[in-house]
């Protein structure tokens, strides 16, 4: 708030440019805006890592569905199953906790980038008719 009060004349001129309605053209508004920008900058890498975690959970879900399909195929009535066959899958609690957050996933560039191989097509020879 102190920073805004010191430079309030600048913020007051900036308000109409960025589309701040007249009733919100006050120091509290600009203070909240600066706080938001600071928090977004501070937690940007954490949010990126959280999205990568959600992508991993989505991939885990595919494998979990495979486990469920195998379990459904081999019923305990027909087969002698080991105890581990009916145990809860590792990671299930994490999946349950964060599955409602899948809507937050955006296109994330992974932290470890894999080089893309560019396919090159050899150029066709130019026929000139002269040896």
Distance CA 25, CA 11 (A): 9
Distance CA 34, CA 38 (A): 6
Residues 54-67, mean pLDDT to the nearest whole number: 92
Q: Is 97 helix (H, G, I), strand (E, B) or coil?
A: helix
Q: Is 118 helix (H, G, I), strand (E, B) or coil?
A: coil
Q: What pLDDT, in 10s, does the model give residues 63-80? A: 999 999 998 898 888 888
pLDDT of residue 108: 47
pLDDT of residue 129 exceeding 70: no
pLDDT of residue 123: 57
One DSSP character per residue, 65-79 reads: HHHHHHHHHS-TTTS
Instruction: Write the CB contacts of 25 (distance below 8 Å, at least 6 apart in sequence).
Output: 12, 15, 16
pLDDT of residue 95: 92
On average, the pLDDT of the chain sits at 82
Q: What pLDDT, in 10s, does the model give residues 13-48? A: 888 888 888 888 888 988 999 999 999 899 999 989
pLDDT of residue 25: 85
pLDDT of residue 2: 80
Which residue has better confidence, 113 or 50? 50
Cα-Cα-Cα-Cα dihedral sign, residues 106, 97, 53, 62:
negative
């Amino acid at each position: 708030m102190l920073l805004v009060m010191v430079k309030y004349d600048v913020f007051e001129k900036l308000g109409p440019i960025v589309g701040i309605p007249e009733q919100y053209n006050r120091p509290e508004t600009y203070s909240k805006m600066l706080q938001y920008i600071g928090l977004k900058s501070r937690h940007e890498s954490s949010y990126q890592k959280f999205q990568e975690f959600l992508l991993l959970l989505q991939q885990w879900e595919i494998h979990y569905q495979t486990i469920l399909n195998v379990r459904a195929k081999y019923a305990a009535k027909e087969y002698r199953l080991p105890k581990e066959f009916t145990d809860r899958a590792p990671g299930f609690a994490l999946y349950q906790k964060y599955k409602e957050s899948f809507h937050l996933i955006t296109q994330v560039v992974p932290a470890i980038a894999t080089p893309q191989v560019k396919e090159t097509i050899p150029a066709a020879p130019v026929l000139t008719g002269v040896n």
